[in-house]
Amino acid sequence: DYAGFRTFDSMVRLEKIFGQTSVTVISQQFHNERAIYIAGKEGISAIGFNATDVPDAQGFKTQLRERFARVKMFLDFWFGAKPKFLGEKIVIPD
């Protein structure tokens, strides 16, 4: 997603810009959990494929960042946040 500055934006843009109602997210488990949750709240059917997790040396920093990202996600829904940029519709052929 060329304007998916964050997971929330990409999941919202998935339907609004790309016209998709289902998605497979390929990322680390912690990210997939958040992406699938957002997709579900947006009425999008989503599944995740978990890639190899980050090395232990980076794990603490990544987990700390993820905790803040999850809080931000709930605040986004609470306050009705919108993506930073939507853009024009792009047709993805079947």
Determine contact, residues 27/1, Cβ cutoff 8 Å: no
When the pLDDT of each residue in the chain is averaged and rounded to a whole number, the result is 91
User: What is the band of 80 on the pLDDT scale with cuts at 50, 70, 90?
Assistant: very high
The whole-model pTM stands at 0.86
Average pLDDT over residues 69-84: 94
The SS3 assignment for 19 reads coil
User: In degrees rounded to 5, what are phi and psi of residue 49?
Assistant: -115, 115
Q: Write out 44-86 in H/E/C secondary structure.
A: CEEEEEECCCCCHHHHHHHHHHHHHHHHHHHHHHHHCCCCCCC
pLDDT digits 0-9 by tens, 46-74:
999 999 887 777 778 888 899 999 999 99
- pLDDT score recorded for residue 93: 81
pLDDT digits 0-9 by tens, 1-26:
888 889 999 999 999 999 999 999 99
